[in-house]
Structure 1
């Protein structure tokens, strides 16, 4: 095989690729914000003492964890507009689909973090007369968040990578633009190789930070 690599054609498509990258980052950041906030709320519902609250929350978690993210994205894009007869901006729909998927996974990460909170701390809250919402915000949430940070960050990386799936429903993210460029220039190897390096460059710093945090947590637990 004597393939001649030529990356020069990408020079004229830098602007389009950067616009696609902007959409990708918007999708990932908004979905992560949604997953962080709603994930903790969903965690509290899953851990509720009342079955009527707990059961629907558990069903939500299991549905999004046990079905393919691609199927969820396609369902949101094509089924919801047909059901409610309302057109929703494609980027907003992508954020919704990715954010709800991440919410389910983050809820499990938070749940593990909450279960790691020492019982003595909860007993101290009761002794001090703290109300349930005060216990949750000032005692449980900070510790659960600290315990869950590595998993939450790893889930965030996964959402960045899964954001490429919205290209299948014609959202003009980095992957969609790259597909168009590769098709027009007949240069898929060069195009997709560059895009892979972009995703790698975005994900690697966060992945390395996760390792640093995990090492520090392990060292703190060994003391």
Structure 2
């Protein structure tokens, strides 16, 4: 291999990469907030005893789990304006597409956590006279969240990585900026390797924390 790496092209482009990174972090952070909040609400709908609430929630989950994320992003960017005559700025549209996708996956993580709550705890909350919303907020949510946290964080890492797909619709994230720089500087190997390292540096600490958290939970359950 005679290829000579040359990163001199980064001079003058660091600011562009930083701007792209900020967009990527914004997409990932807001999408995770949307997914965490809406995911729990969607989970409760899937566990409802009423069919007219449970069935649409389950179909929502299956749609986002069984279709490619790239297709979802393209559909939101091009089909929503055509169907509803609604025009939203690209970052907000990206958050909407990624956030709803994450909502579906987080709902399943929450559901597993809710189903793991001991029935004795629910019976005790009923005996104490807690209202349904109080049981949900003070008994079910804390225990379900504790069980679901590793999966929720793993889903968060995935949405950070999948946010790179918004580059296909010209959102100025890290991947889009990197693609533009690689095209202009004729240095795709250095550019894409650098972008991969940035995503790796962002994801690795979270992945390590998830592994530590899982080991801690396994140790607590073994006692």
Please classify the TM superposition score into its range, dividing by the shorter chain length.
over 0.9
Cα distance, 1:8 vs structure 2:
1.1
Aligned counterparts of 1:27 and 1:11: Cα–Cα separation in 2 = 26
1:152 maps to which residue? Answer: 152
Partner of 1:58: 58
Which residue does the alignment assign to 2:79? 79
Question: CA shift at 1:2, angstroms?
Answer: 1.0
Distance 2:82 2:131 in 1: 44
What is the CA deviation profile of residues 68-105 of structure 1, one whole-angstrom value per residue up to 9, with x for unaligned ones?
A: 00000000000001111121100000000000000000
TM-score by length of 1: 0.99
- Which residue in the other structure is 1:180 paired with? 180
Q: In the aligned structure 2, how far is the partner of 1:219 from the partner of 1:142?
A: 19
Cα distance in 1 for partners of 2:85, 2:37 equals 28
The Cα shift of 1:60 comes to 0.1
SS at match of 2:217: helix
Task: State the secondary structure of the residue aligned to 2:12.
Answer: helix
CA distance in 2, matches of 1:89, 1:47: 35
How many residue pairs get aligned? The number is 223
Structure 1 position 171 matched with structure 2 position 171: yes
- Structure 1 runs of 4+ off > 3 angstroms? none
- What is the TM-score with the length of structure 2 in the denominator? 0.99
Question: Could you tell me which residue of structure 1 aligns to residue 18 of structure 2?
Answer: 18
CA distance in 2, matches of 1:85, 1:32: 27
Q: Write the distance in 2 (CA, Å) between the matches of 1:10 and 1:191.
A: 9
Q: Could you say which residue in structure 2 is the equivalent of 1:37? A: 37
Question: Equivalents in 2 of 1:46, 1:218: separation in Å?
Answer: 28
Provide the residue aligned with 1:97 in structure 2.
97
Counterpart residue number, 1:190: 190
Q: Structure 2: any 5+ residue segments left out of the alignment?
A: none
TM-superposed deviation, 1:187 = 0.3
Q: d(CA) in 2 for partners of 1:170 and 1:75?
A: 14
For 1:127 and 1:65, the matched residues in 2 are separated by 38
Q: Deviations over 1:138-157 (max 9, x none)?
A: 00000000100000000000
Q: 1: CA distance between counterparts of 2:115 and 2:214?
A: 18
CA distance in structure 2 between the aligned counterparts of 1:217 and 1:11, rounded to whole angstroms: 46
CA distance in 2, matches of 1:86, 1:128: 48
1:11 to partner: Cα distance: 2.1
Task: Provide the aligned C-alpha RMSD in A.
Answer: 0.5
**1:96-175 paired onto structure 2 within 5 Å:** 96-175=96-175
